[in-house]
Chain A
Amino acid sequence: MAVTAVSGSVARPIPRLRRMEDERWLAFALLVPTAVLLGLFIAYPFVEGVLLSLNSTRVGIKGEFVGLKNFDKVWNDSIFRTSVWNTFWYTGVTTVFKLALGLWLAILLNRHFRGKALVRAFILLPFIIPTVLSTFAWKWMFDPTFSVINWTLFQLGFITQRINWLGDPDLAMTSIIIVNVWRGVPFFAISLLAGLQTISPELQEAAAIDGARPWQRFWHVTWPLLLPVTMVVVLFSVIQTFADFQLVYVMTGGGPANATHLFATYAYQLGIGTGLLSEGAAVSLAMFPFLFLIVVVQLLYIRRVETR
C-alpha cells in the first residue's frame, strides 16, 4: 500500500531521462566523447596516412592512386633497409639496457636509506627534461671538435686522437643508443619501483625464513610478481623507441650518410624534407606491421601471465 502511495505522489521522469537510466544508452553516451576523440586524432590521421601511401602525392601536387607502388619502391631502397635494421637494433639494444639498468636502480631505490625521496626525484630528471634540450647537450658532448668526453679521455691519457663519435657510423649509432638509454632508464626505474612496492614484504620474509638466498628470493618471488608490470613497461618503451624521432633528428639527422636513420627520421626526410609525401607515408606505415606484431605478442603474454 505504502509503495503505491509513494509512487503515486512522485512525478514520472521525463522520457529522455528515463532513457539514460538504461545502461546501454548511458554507456553509449559516456563513450561518445572518447570515440570522437579517438576517431579524430587517431583513426582519421591513420586512414589519411594509408590513403596517402597509396597515391603519388608530392608537396603541392595532388597525386593519383598508385596501389602498392610506393611500398615496392621503398622496399627496394637501400636507405630504407638500413633504417629497418637500425630501428630494430636501436630498439632491441636500448630496451635490454634500459630494462637491466632500470630494474637494478629500482631494486636499489626500494631499500631504505637517508634522502630516499630526494634521490628518487633526481633519478627522474633525464625523463623530465625536454628531449630536444637534453639531446642538444649530448650533441655538444659528442661534438666532433669540442667533445668534453674526448677531452676528458685525452686528459686522462686513454686516447691520443679524437674519437669521431658522430662521424663514424657505428659510433654514431652507439652514441644515440647511449642517450636513449640515459633518457629511458628513469621511466623503467620508477615504474618498476612502483611494481616492487606492491609486493608484500611478508612473502620475502617467509622465503628468507625457509632459507632462500637473496638471488633465489628475487628469482622465485620478486621477478614472477613483477613480471606483469615489467611487460607493460617494456611494451610502452618498445613502442616509443621504435617510433623515436627527436633524439636521432637532433643528434645525427640520420647521418653520417644515412647510417643512423630510423623509420621516423627517414620518413620525415622523404616526406617533409624532400616533399615526397606519399613515399614518406609509405615508410612511416611500414612501421605499423612490425609494431602491431610486437604489441599483439606482448599483450597475449601479459594476458597469459595474468590468468595464470
Chain B
Amino acid sequence: MAKTKRRSVLKLAGGTAAVSLGGLAGILATGRTPAYAQQKTVHWLKWVDFVPATDQLFRKEMMPEAEKALGIKVNLETVNGNDLQPRVTAGIQSGAGPDLIMSFNNQTYLYANSVVDLTEIAEAVAKREGGLFPYARSICSDGKMFMGMPWAVIGGMIAYRKSWLEEAGYTKFPDTWETYREAAKKLKAKGRPMGQTLGHTFGDAPGFTYPYMWSWGGKEVEADGKTVVINSKGTIDSVKFMQGLWKDGMDEGGLAWDDTNNNRAFLSQTISATLNGASIYIETLRKPDQYKTEKGMPMNKDILHAPLPKGPAGQFGFHLLQSNMLMKYSKNQDAAKEFLKWLHTEANYAKFFNSQKGFATPCTVKWESDKLWDEDPVMTPYKVAARLGQAPGFSGPPNAKAAEGLSKYIITDMYAKAVQGMPAEDAVKWAEAELKKIYSA
C-alpha cells in the first residue's frame, strides 16, 4: 500500500488552492483566511429609536436588503442614547468595537482624532440633495474634515395638551416666557403642571436649557471661543426666572427625569406640556386605543406642537443632531463607507424618513419640501428644525471645548442647582468656574 506523506498532502492542498489564492503559503504569509471564507461585517451602533417602527424597519427590511445589495453582513446594535458616549470611549481606547457609531450633537469634535474623514460622502449627498444646512455642517465638520456623516435632526418642540391649555384660557401656546410661566402656574394649580427634565440626559435637558439661556441673552463664550462670558445679567435673570417658574408651574420631579420620563408623564396625563421630539404624539398615533384623554377621546387629537417661547433676547432652538462616525480602528472601513453610501441613497433614506413620520428632520434641503410634511399639520413645526438649530458653544464654534461643556451638563446643572435652592448668582458663578476650567485648558 502506498504511503501518504504529510508533506504531499500539504502540497496537494496548496496546489489546489494556488489557482486563486496562492496556496497555504500565501495564506500563511498574509495571515488572512481565504477571501471566500470572510464575509465582511459592518457593526453599526445607534440609539434605540424613540420611534420603534424605524428600528423594526432596519432590522426586518433594510439590513437584509443592504446585505444582499453589498454582500456584507450588517450587525445592527441599539443602545440607550445615554450609553453611546461610553461605548465610543471604550471602542477607541481598546481599538476594537463597532465600525459605525451614532454621535449626538458636537460630541463628534471630542473624537476627531479617532474617526475617518467622511467629506467625500457627505459632500456628495449634500450636492445631490440641495445642500447641507449650516447647523449640520458646523457640528459634523471642523472645516477640514467631516467627523461624522450627518444623519438627522431630532427636533425639540413643546408637545402640549390643547384642551387643557384652552381650559386655562390659552387658545395658542404661550410665546413668551412670562406667559409660559403664567400658564404653567394656572395649570399646576389644577394638578397639570408643565414638565421638563433638568437631569443628566442627552436630549431634552440641554435641548431646553441652552435655548432658554440664549433667549435671555446668556451665552457660554464670546465668538472668539475663548472668553467665558456666562456670568452676565442675561444668564442671572434667566436663572432667577427659572427658580420661580420651577416652583410655580413645573413638575418638580423633573430634576430626576431622563429623556423617557417626560414621555411617560405626558402619556399618563400628569403633565400638560413638555419639550420633546415628536415621539409622544407618534406613540399616541400608534396606539390610539391605549392613550385617551380623560374625556375618552384619542389623545392624539388633543396634542399640538409649538417652539420654545421667546425671551428678551429672542427665540432659539437646540435640536439633537445625529451623525454616524466611522471609527479609525475599524478594519472594515471600505465596507462601512459603502454601507453609509447605500443608507444615504435617496430611496433608502426615504424609507427611514417616512418611518419617522417627521420625528427626524433630514440635514439636507431637499427633504424640507417632501410631501410628508403636508400629511399631518401637527408635525409641521418640526420641518424647520434642521434649518433653525443653534449649536452649544454659541457664540463661539461648537468645538471640542463646547462639547466637553455639553457632556458635563454644566448649563443644565446651573439651573438644577438654582432650583434646588442655590442663589442664582452662585449657580452662575459655579458654571462660570467650570467653563473657565474647560476653556483655559
Question: Which A residues lie at the B interface, using CB under 8 A?
Answer: 58-61, 73, 77-78, 143-146, 162, 164-169, 172, 252-259, 268-269, 271-277
Q: Known contacts being A61-B113, A273-B86, A274-B404, is A166 close to B256, with CB within 8 Å?
A: yes
B93: interface (CB < 8 Å): yes
Q: How far is the CB of A41 from chain B (nearest CB, A)?
A: 16
Question: Which B residues lie at the A interface, using CB under 8 A?
Answer: 82, 85-86, 88-90, 92-93, 110-114, 198-200, 251-258, 261, 264-265, 268, 270, 404, 407-408, 412-413, 416-417, 420, 430, 433, 437
Q: How far is the CB of B254 from chain A (nearest CB, A)?
A: 7
Q: How far is the CA of A276 from the CA of B420 in the complex (A)?
A: 28
Chain B residues whose CB sits within 8 angstroms of the CB of A256 once the complex forms: 198-199, 255-256, 416, 420
B256 touches A255 (CB 8 A): yes
Chain A residues whose CB sits within 8 angstroms of the CB of B89 once the complex forms: 59, 271-273, 275, 277
18 pairs of residues in contact across A and B, judged by CB atoms under 8 Å: A59-B88, A73-B437, A144-B254, A144-B255, A144-B256, A145-B253, A145-B261, A164-B253, A167-B252, A167-B253, A256-B255, A256-B256, A257-B198, A257-B420, A274-B404, A274-B408, A275-B85, A275-B88
Q: What are the nearest 6 A-B pairs in CB distance?
A: A144-B253, A60-B114, A167-B255, A257-B416, A166-B256, A256-B255
> Looking across the interface, which residue of chain A has its beta carbon closest to that of B113?
A60
Q: How far is the CB of A163 from chain B (nearest CB, A)?
A: 10
- Name the residue in A145, A166, A253, A259 with the highest tally of chain B Cβ atoms < 10 Å from its Cβ: A145
Q: How far is the CA of A145 from the CA of B255 in the complex (A)?
A: 12
Q: How far is the CA of A11 from the CA of B213 in the complex (A)?
A: 90
Q: How far is the CA of A208 from the CA of B256 in the complex (A)?
A: 55
Chain A residues whose CB sits within 8 angstroms of the CB of B111 once the complex forms: 59-60, 275
Q: How far is the CB of A160 from chain B (nearest CB, A)?
A: 11
Chain B residues whose CB sits within 8 angstroms of the CB of A169 once the complex forms: 420
Q: How far is the CA of A258 from the CA of B416 in the complex (A)?
A: 10
B270 touches A255 (CB 8 A): no
> Looking across the interface, which residue of chain A has its beta carbon closest to that of B408?
A274
Q: How far is the CA of A275 from the CA of B111 in the complex (A)?
A: 9
Q: Known contacts being A145-B270, A256-B198, is A59 close to B110, with CB within 8 Å?
A: yes
Q: How far is the CA of A258 from the CA of B407 in the complex (A)?
A: 13
Chain A residues whose CB sits within 8 angstroms of the CB of B430 once the complex forms: 78
Q: How far is the CA of A169 from the CA of B407 in the complex (A)?
A: 21
Contact residues of B: prevailing secondary structure? helix
Chain B residues whose CB sits within 8 angstroms of the CB of A172 once the complex forms: 256
Q: How far is the CB of B411 from chain A (nearest CB, A)?
A: 11
Q: How far is the CA of A164 from the CA of B199 in the complex (A)?
A: 13
- Name the residue in A78, A271, A275 with the highest tally of chain B Cβ atoms < 10 Å from its Cβ: A275
Q: How far is the CA of A269 from the CA of B111 in the complex (A)?
A: 16
Q: Known contacts being A59-B110, A257-B413, is A274 close to B407, with CB within 8 Å?
A: yes
Q: How far is the CB of B112 from chain A (nearest CB, A)?
A: 8
Q: How far is the CB of A282 from chain B (nearest CB, A)?
A: 14
Chain B residues whose CB sits within 8 angstroms of the CB of A77 once the complex forms: 437
Chain A residues whose CB sits within 8 angstroms of the CB of B112 once the complex forms: 60
- Name the residue in A143, A167, A272, A273 with the highest tally of chain B Cβ atoms < 10 Å from its Cβ: A167
Q: How far is the CA of A33 from the CA of B420 in the complex (A)?
A: 54
B404 touches A146 (CB 8 A): no
Q: Known contacts being A146-B268, A169-B420, A272-B86, is A257 close to B255, with CB within 8 Å?
A: yes
Q: How far is the CA of A115 from the CA of B254 in the complex (A)?
A: 46
Q: How far is the CA of A175 from the CA of B404 in the complex (A)?
A: 30
Q: How far is the CA of A111 from the CA of B113 in the complex (A)?
A: 65
A257 touches B270 (CB 8 A): no
Chain A residues whose CB sits within 8 angstroms of the CB of B114 once the complex forms: 59-60
Q: How far is the CB of B230 from chain A (nearest CB, A)?
A: 16
Known interface pairs A145-B251, A256-B255; 8 further A-B residue pairs with C-beta atoms within 8 A, sorted by A's residue number: A143-B261, A144-B256, A167-B257, A168-B420, A253-B82, A253-B258, A275-B89, A276-B404
Q: How far is the CA of A172 from the CA of B256 in the complex (A)?
A: 9
- Name the residue in B92, B200, B253 with the highest tally of chain A Cβ atoms < 10 Å from its Cβ: B253
